[in-house]
Structure 1
Amino acid sequence: MSVSNPTLITFVIYIAAMVLIGLMAYRSTNNLSDYILGGRSLGSVVTALSAGASDMSGWLLMGLPGAIYMSGLSESWIAIGLIVGAYLNWLFVAGRLRVQTEHNGDALTLPDYFSSRFEDKSGLLRIISAVVILVFFTIYCASGIVAGARLFESTFGMSYETALWAGAAATIAYTFVGGFLAVSWTDTVQATLMIFALILTPIIVLLATGGIDTAFLAIEAKNPDNFNMLKNTTFIGIISLMGWGLGYFGQPHILARFMAADSVKSIANARRISMTWMILCLGGTVAVGFFGIAYFSAHPEVAGPVNENHERVFIELAKLLFNPWIAGVLLSAILAAVMSTLSCQLLVCSSALTEDFYKTFLRKNASQVELVWVGRAMVLLVALIAIAMAANPNNRVLGLVSYAWAGFGAAFGPVVLISVIWKNMTRNGALAGILVGAITVIVWKHFELLGLYEIIPGFIFASLAIYFVSKMGAPTAGMVERFDAAEKDYNLNK
């Protein structure tokens, strides 16, 4: 691997820029609130692009294009489900959660919010929700590390083991140093890079295959069913793919962006920016995988790496069709997708361990400086565990993401959604929702019941558990009073 390799130089410049942003954020990080939520100071553009970038991990440029390349447009149902779910999350949850967390003890984390919202003096709600975060996020972090390793492995010819550490090192560095502000500021840069790559690449692939008509003919010649959105699908299959959209209501790393917005007024503009970005990115992702079928059908002599691992389709197209310097920028977009999601996941795990375990149960009177350094230590700890989980080179990015996504969507989604729209929800209802959602996902995944994606039964059963268990009791006067005050605040300022 030559030091003059343009792709390598581009990567080094990009990583150095991200670490520099981390060092700049370090100067603005004075306490745990700054480290975990950036002092609730994000404007609408940073909120929007940070929420989008933290959502769209390595699967956006690897997992989904690979699925489209293998199966055609029938895999695009997942993109439709995600767009609908993200929009509803912005519409119903974003503004209300921003206000509710402020009215409920100025909560910094989801377990913190649940504990304050439902006046849980026992600490049980906080502990169980923090455990769910740690279990599923460690799996999610592992998926990001696998995606980064695949990128370094195929770009620089590294062994998988070396690539594993190289891919994780930069993300750990700026998250460790700068915390939430570093993560959010870098997310904004990374979101811009991702949309640039996903708009440019399909256009160049089309030009390389002779235009849209030629590409369509090549795709049809390969398999006419590539155009069929119902190819090899069943009703359960389509519902399962669309069901990915339910996951948005429960993703702690995305919800943290809502909590960190500078005001409710920023949310509406952030929603418009974020949804435009998301639709363009997902459209580009589908196009990369789809037109990749045409390109590699016309050039079977270079299709070997993609046939071996279809999740490499974007990587191979970037390397084959672009000047090495431009290819370096495009491949940095994969690194951007991986880093943006992995960094905020590490931070959420760190905040759960620091705020919800260390501060609450071990060191109630710990200083802010101590808590920030404990938070940094926890980033390292979770990263090392995730690297160990990612050590199996046979891991697939989309498979790891789907399990973690379902876990959060079912365990937290109904609790978060119902807690911000229904004032009669109780502490026991929240507890039942988290447990039923998480257990359903684990059991359903293990037995692969009905071929249905586990998030759907998990979300439904958790919602029913919340409703019926809440009906068996009643919220306290304080809970109702805070809910009404937050709802009034939201309606006045939205």
Structure 2
Amino acid sequence: MGSISSQVGIIIAIIAYLVGMLLIGFITSKKNSSVGDFYLGGRQLGPLVTAMSAEASDMSSWLLMGLPGLAYLSGLAEPFWTAIGLAAGTYLNWLFVARRFRNYTVEAGDAITVPEYFSNRYGDRKKILTLIAALIIVIFFIPYTASGFAAIGKLFASLFSMDYHVSMIVGALIVIGYTMTGGFLAASLTDLIQSIIMTIALIVVLVFGISQAGGWAAVVSNAQQLSGHLSLFRSHIPDAHNFWAPGTSGPYSALTIVSTLAWGLGYFGMPHILLRFMAIRDEKKLKLSRRIASVWVVIAMGTAILIGIIGLGMSRAGTIEVLPDSSAAETVIVRIAHRLSEFGFGPALIAGVILSGIIASTMSTSDSQLLAASSSVSKDIVSGFLNRKMNAKGEML
């Protein structure tokens, strides 16, 4: 009976989250009266929405699955230096790019897409720069968006015992539904809510995981028994035959650290992040957005890394299964959520929120990339380069 109530609690929480996303799309659709409203929210975003939607759309499921899994298997070194690089990239992107790019796009003919900005700024009347930039976005974002839909499908399939292909289609339809109806504003507001859900998921898993692992001292003790697991300059290599043997460790060289830190360079030029810079209502508020975004990124990634170490302690304590390989280790938060759901209907609802956080981390990236790709096709290629006229609502004339 407990198992049935647990499943019901999880399903109720996830369905409530999904319905909420669709409702936001429907409500915000009434505020879209022009192409600029649909693709850029009429440049009316507040500092909190700007900051959190930018970071939620960037993190993806890597935050709640990849990062904890990496810490679980290899220890602190790689996830720590990766997080440092990403945190630095986030801060510097907001510091050097955000205000300049926001102001440039306004001055350059009030551009509402990144490709349009290039042609406007450099006087490209034939819109060749618009076409090139739009094609780059479409070519690289469509596969990335599709991979997000695939991830949603896998998660739905595992949670609801549905066919994978059906699950993927359902997940894609939900993302497309609220993005198509509400546009940029819907994507931004849902990303804000999704970032809140992700934060709740991280905090609950952190607290619950420590208690289930036998306390923080036990978590640290278990990790210390594995060679190099808590070192910032060595990477743990698990024993092939006994996961709990000390194993070995390899050096994390200065070159490797620099290469890992370079992850942060990827932030500069991401179209879905640049769109958030363009959309803020008051460019003077970007300083506040930068602080919110930078603090959240540091806390979120730090917590995710700790969860990987805590998951190791829970495995040692026998409260979740031992996760011996990378694909299994990435599900550490999922397994902790299912462990929480075993304590009754109320905890199962909370577990459903945690699992919704994983779904949210994927959806928040997919919706932003979907919108960036669709604007590149309709606004930049069809309307800009091919010169097909659209009315104020974006409909072809």
2:360 to 325, 331, 336: 336
* Pairing 1:311-322 to 2, within 5 Å after superposition: 311-322=330-341
AA matched with 1:318: A
* Pairing 1:5-404 to 2, within 5 Å after superposition: 5-76=8-79, 77-221=81-225, 223-231=226-234, 232=250, 233-299=252-318, 302-303=321-322, 309-322=328-341, 323-369=347-393, 371=394
Residue deviations 1:105-153 (CA, integer Å, cap 9, x gap): 1011111111111112342221111111111112321332233123223
Partner of 1:394: none
Deviating more after overlay: 73-82 vs 151-160: 151-160
Q: Distance in 1 between matches of 2:327 and 2:188?
A: 35
Q: Is the 8 A contact 1:205 1:321 kept in 2?
A: no
Partner of 1:404: none
Classify 1:146/1:68 alpha carbon distance in 2 versus 1 (closer, same or farther; 3 Å). farther
AA matched with 1:98: R
Q: Secondary structure at the match of 2:331?
A: helix
Residue deviations 1:278-314 (CA, integer Å, cap 9, x gap): 1111111111112111111222872369775222111
TM-score, with length taken from structure 2: 0.89
Q: Distance in 2 between matches of 1:338 and 1:121?
A: 38
Q: Distance in 2 between matches of 1:321 and 1:176?
A: 35
* Pairing 1:431-450 to 2, within 5 Å after superposition: none
Q: Distance in 2 between matches of 1:239 and 1:365?
A: 48
TM-score, with length taken from structure 1: 0.72
Q: Distance in 2 between matches of 1:229 and 1:208?
A: 26
Unaligned runs of 5+ in 1: 375-494
> How many equivalent pairs are there?
372
Deviation at 1:229, TM superposition (A): 1.8
Residue deviations 1:417-476 (CA, integer Å, cap 9, x gap): xxxxxxxxxxxxxxxxxxxxxxxxxxxxxxxxxxxxxxxxxxxxxxxxxxxxxxxxxxxx
Classify 1:304/1:234 alpha carbon distance in 2 versus 1 (closer, same or farther; 3 Å). closer
Q: Secondary structure at the match of 2:125?
A: coil
Residue deviations 1:5-53 (CA, integer Å, cap 9, x gap): 2111111111111111111110001111011000000011111111111
Classify 1:95/1:281 alpha carbon distance in 2 versus 1 (closer, same or farther; 3 Å). same
Higher helix share: 1
Deviation at 1:240, TM superposition (A): 2.2
Residue deviations 1:87-119 (CA, integer Å, cap 9, x gap): 001111111111000000101111111111111
Q: Is the 8 A contact 1:35 1:372 kept in 2?
A: no
Partner of 1:411: none
Deviation at 1:317, TM superposition (A): 1.1
CA RMSD of aligned residues (A): 2.1
Q: Secondary structure at the match of 2:43?
A: coil
Tell me: higher relative CO, structure 1 or 2? Use CA pairs within 8 A at least 6 residues apart: 2
Unaligned runs of 5+ in 2: 235-249, 342-346
Residue deviations 1:59-109 (CA, integer Å, cap 9, x gap): 111121112212111222111100000000111111111100000010111
